[in-house]
Structure 1
Amino acid sequence: MVSTVPWLSMLWLVPLAGAVMIILMPAPLQLLARWAGLAVSIAVLVVAIVVTVRFDSGGARYQFVENHSWIPAFGAGYTLGVDGIAVVLVLLTAVLVPLLMLAGWHDGGEHPRGPQAYIALTLTVESMVLISLVSLDVLLFYVFFEAMLIPMYFLIGGFGQGPGRSRAAVKFLLYNLFGGLIMLAAVIGLYVVTAQHIGGTFDFREIVAAVSSGRLGVQPAVLKTLFLGFMFAFAIKAPLWPFHRWLPDAAVEAPPATAVLMMAVMDKVGTFGMLRYCLQLFPGASTYFRPAIVVLAVIGVVYGAVVAIGQTDIMRLIAYTSISHFGFIILGIFVMTSQGQSGSTLYMVNHGLSTAAVFLIAGFLIARRGTRAIADYGGVQTVAPVLAGTFLVAALATLSLPGLAPFISEFLVLIGTFSRYWLVAAFGVTALVLSAIYMLWLYQRMMTGPVRDGNETIRDLMPREALVVAPLIALLLVLGIYPKPVLDLINPAVYHTMTTIGEHDPAPRVVVSGTGPQR
């Protein structure tokens, strides 16, 4: 449906306008800036809830469509719309940012205008992520896909808490800018291709329709090259092994709330881009490169889990678990089965919730103790039982314990993978054992046993911190038991994607004694 109220424009303009308002506040108004940032993020959440509630999962594929001319000479338009996949990621973003505002309530307070800058940059990242998720114009998507790097760079380098924050911020920026430059060449190439065959356009829907109907008569080699340009940028953003090297440093050096904003929100634009742009613009190339990407994804799954086991830094360990989880998400996308893609989209949501919970609780603990070294902890559950208990639930969610939200998504990814690549699924299952090792061992070393020297004065969760953690734990429990409302939004969009790329779920095979495999 075409929306009469510009809900999607409101979705990204409200946080951007809030960022401008807050950065212009005088230096003494730090407390007002914090409350204003929280209020703006809650207003965005209200808009996101309206969009989600009014979204008709059985209706048109793209809804709340807004279409205005932007750069007519290049066929670029201000075109917005959401499908079920975009809706759930929009809602995830809108849910997390108010919680991150509360979690980072005191971040930036050491500088006279630090809180204003910190809050404004956070809202700017939210704004750019949201317009990237709702854009239906390739050029519009690219502009904000790249622009979000700038505020995140300043959040890491300007408000990071470690001595290596400047290096981590530069590393983050250079990796992602390089990927973006390669993607820019692919975006230009895509426009040249469309200009030769359908008149030149950046409208995602028009290009996909031309690809599906065969009107975009382009040599397969050209399409493969363009696919690699898009995929390279998304693989860095996600990140996919071996393009992950920037993530651990950035996650460790950034404030915990910023690290969650990066891993749970911003990086999802990479996997979302794979699902929307790589698969639907270049279905033939996606199928051609599918085996290679599946192999890289399963390597990432195992690699992230193995490296996490050997970490001595709490935050670096959690960062490597995200590399493993992103491997699962990308695996589910590129096995090109309905279970795999539904599981991957649900995994994006569940990973955002579980990573936010475990990273923020660890951040609260580190702020009390002043060290990230695992060896400095021990016996925390004795002095801070609520903190330890919520950390345990978040850790169990991270290792995909049945009954908690990530289990359903990981199970769907493995089922979808097994139906096409059973050996890859077998390797993926090993990550379940490895994740149990690194998370339960982490909990044992930090939370159990006698209270180590220096940990006696660790306080339990304060009301503000409990207000951050409680909704995350509740969502992990609810979605672990009843994921149907989210899957009802996701599944029709996945069906449309599978239809667009011409893929079908493999038929099950049953071995009948004496007759061989039967379909």
Structure 2
Amino acid sequence: MTTGQVTLVAVLAIPAVGAVAVAGLTRRADRAARIVATVVAAIAFLVSLSLYGTGDRGWFRYQAATAGPGILPWHELDLTWVPGLDLRFHLGVDGISYPLVVLTTLLTLLCCAYSIRHVPAGGPGGYLVALLLVIEVGIVGTFLALDLVLFFVFFEVVLLPMFVVIAGWGGEDRRRAARKFVLYTLFGSVLLLVGVVTVVSAAGTADIVALTGGGNLSRTTQLAAFVLLAVAFAVKSPLWPLHTWLPDAHTQAPTVGSVILAGVLLKMGTYGIIRVAVGVAPEGARWAAPVLGVLAVAAVVVGSLVCLRQTDLKRLIAYSSVGHMGFVLLGVATLTATGIEAALIGNVAHGVITGLLFFLAGAIKDRLHTGSLTELGGLRERMPALSGLFAFAAVASLGLPGLAGFWGEAFAVVAALQRGGPLWTALAVVAAVGGALTAAYFLRLLRRLTHGPASPVVAAAPASRFGAGELVAWSPLIVLALAVGLVPALVIGFAGAPVEALTGVLDR
């Protein structure tokens, strides 16, 4: 095996083995288990970084293999998995998946580090971080899988541990939220399984590389497969109108659960639309593009309007994700290189910024024991540093130029305009209005949360400083929100060649 192939296996094996070790250690020494989990997550993060620089493909020098149309992996591992069914353990990484793999390992590391000193009520913290490592295996595996059946397996690995995280360490209504999460995602899983079976039975292979560009699938099969796959991924993203599980899950989940949910778990859906639904069924994507565009813009507007009425901090941030994922879907729906690159940077920016927002919302709730905006006015009077960081994250999320949230939203609108025609021009205009509504609800949030006289709850709160765990968890996200905003090539600089290859398939 080459160094790159070993790295592909290691980035999955390290957290998997670490999860087992941490779970075993928790019974004897819970705090030590959380420290071990953080070390394991740090190693996995460093290994994920090396996926790009391993071998003779030095940093920022792209040398693509010619594995197939639309798939240009830097490293690829293809082993026999189930010989009787011709299933293969096929992994690969390219410029589309690499930023998401790194984002996943980074957020898992930050959540484990945060959990060393911040364990929510519900059970030993060691079990919580062990579950986070299992979730990391599932999410990273989803981004690396180049076999449809393997993709489905990794996609489903995430379901049970996330259910346990919400139900075990969440808020007062955690069990209902966890059940709702499971019911919705199981519905999506059934559709995904049917879509995978449809494609594999018709094409005679589960190899995503061979299937990219449609393989030998008929137009009818591609249309049916795209509908099944797109709806399945829309549930996970979640995209309007299949989003209603998300606010409950976010509101009840512990802080680290919300960070993982918003930061990377939602990206499994949007990544699946790009890599699997669009890649495997391009004719279906072209046929459904106008519908996807309309649904995307509806998500932007509806999400923003709902946020304007929210009075709970975490619930508002959760609904904001619906709007941000709408911009991501709009970029994908254009089926252009500009649009897909906007979707990719929008994915990463949302993971960084919304992860930071949920960390900060958790800090506010820990200190003030409430998330109600009616009780949190005047935060800057009592906690100016925390108020300032929250304002930074909020303006990053609303798309202020110079911060990470700007590029995905702005260029999704640009891509719709470039697509041309009355429909796409109208969608671009409405999406731009939705962007203005995004600014409106975040500015309203800051006015209610940070400005004005301190509310009784805020005024009575004791003065507090940032803990070491909080600084460790927040600092990388603050830096990335600024760095990606100033240098978007940190994300889309990797994706140029594979996106061109994918759009070349779509243009056929």
* TM-score after normalising by structure 1: 0.92
1:391-450 Cα distance to aligned partner (Å, 9 max, x none): 110000010001111112221211111112111010000122111111111111111122
The reply to whether residue 337 of structure 1 matches residue 336 of structure 2 is yes
The reply to whether residue 269 of structure 1 matches residue 255 of structure 2 is no
Shift of 1:379: 1.9
Shift of 1:208: 2.4
Aligned equivalents of 2:154 and 2:431: distance in 1? 33
The reply to whether residue 116 of structure 1 matches residue 123 of structure 2 is no
1:311-330 Cα distance to aligned partner (Å, 9 max, x none): 00000000010000000001
Aligned equivalents of 2:463 and 2:322: distance in 1? 30
Aligned equivalents of 2:27 and 2:367: distance in 1? 27
**Residue in 2 that maps onto 1:105:** 116
SS state at 1:78 partner: strand
SS state at 2:466 partner: coil
**Residue in 1 that maps onto 2:498:** 493
**Residue in 1 that maps onto 2:452:** 449
On the 8 A contact 1:52/1:91 being kept in 2, the answer is no
**Residue in 2 that maps onto 1:472:** 477
**Residue in 2 that maps onto 1:184:** 193
The reply to whether residue 95 of structure 1 matches residue 94 of structure 2 is no
On the 8 A contact 1:93/1:265 being kept in 2, the answer is yes
Shift of 1:26: 4.6
- Letter of the 2:504 partner, please give it: T
Which residue, out of 428, 437, 452, partners 2:431? Answer: 428
1:260-308 Cα distance to aligned partner (Å, 9 max, x none): 1011111101000000111111011111111111111110011101100
On the 8 A contact 1:241/1:300 being kept in 2, the answer is yes
On the 8 A contact 1:383/1:459 being kept in 2, the answer is no
- Letter of the 1:50 partner, please give it: S
Q: How does 1:29-428 map to 2 (within 5 A)?
A: 29-54=29-54, 56-60=61-65, 61-106=72-117, 108=119, 110=121, 114-161=124-171, 163-194=172-203, 200-208=204-212, 211=214, 216=216, 218=218, 220-420=219-419, 421-428=424-431
On the 8 A contact 1:180/1:233 being kept in 2, the answer is yes
* Shift in alpha-carbon separation, 1:432–1:26, aligned structure 2, 3 A: closer
SS state at 1:67 partner: strand
SS state at 1:80 partner: strand
Shift of 1:98: 1.3
Aligned equivalents of 1:186 and 1:452: distance in 2? 52
**Residue in 1 that maps onto 2:68:** none
Stretch of structure 1 that moved more, 76-85 or 438-447? 438-447
Aligned equivalents of 2:120 and 2:181: distance in 1? 24
- Letter of the 1:6 partner, please give it: V
SS state at 1:489 partner: coil
On the 8 A contact 2:409/2:435 being kept in 1, the answer is no
1:143-188 Cα distance to aligned partner (Å, 9 max, x none): 1111211100100111102x21101101101111111112211211
How large is the Cα RMSD of the aligned pairs? 1.6
On the 8 A contact 2:34/2:115 being kept in 1, the answer is no
1:115-135 Cα distance to aligned partner (Å, 9 max, x none): 121011111001110011001
Aligned equivalents of 2:369 and 2:251: distance in 1? 14
On the 8 A contact 2:96/2:344 being kept in 1, the answer is yes
* Shift in alpha-carbon separation, 1:303–1:188, aligned structure 2, 3 A: same
Aligned equivalents of 1:395 and 1:97: distance in 2? 22
**Residue in 2 that maps onto 1:22:** 22
Aligned equivalents of 1:464 and 1:117: distance in 2? 18
Shift of 1:482: 1.3
**Residue in 2 that maps onto 1:506:** none
- Letter of the 2:469 partner, please give it: R
* Shift in alpha-carbon separation, 1:26–1:59, aligned structure 2, 3 A: closer
* Shift in alpha-carbon separation, 1:38–1:340, aligned structure 2, 3 A: same
SS state at 1:25 partner: helix
Aligned equivalents of 2:296 and 2:62: distance in 1? 30
Shift of 1:106: 4.5
Aligned equivalents of 2:355 and 2:448: distance in 1? 21
Which consecutive residues of structure 2, in runs of 5 or more, have no partner in the other structure? 66-71
Shift of 1:495: 0.6
On the 8 A contact 2:31/2:116 being kept in 1, the answer is no
Aligned equivalents of 2:33 and 2:281: distance in 1? 45
Aligned equivalents of 2:374 and 2:355: distance in 1? 23
Shift of 1:454: 2.6
SS state at 1:401 partner: coil
SS state at 1:267 partner: helix
- Equivalenced residues, count: 491
Shift of 1:217: 5.1
- Letter of the 2:446 partner, please give it: Y
User: Percent identity of the aligned residues?
Assistant: 32
On the 8 A contact 2:115/2:129 being kept in 1, the answer is no
**Residue in 2 that maps onto 1:507:** none
SS state at 2:456 partner: coil
Q: Which of the two has higher C-alpha Rg?
A: 1
Shift of 1:3: 4.8
Shift of 1:109: 5.8
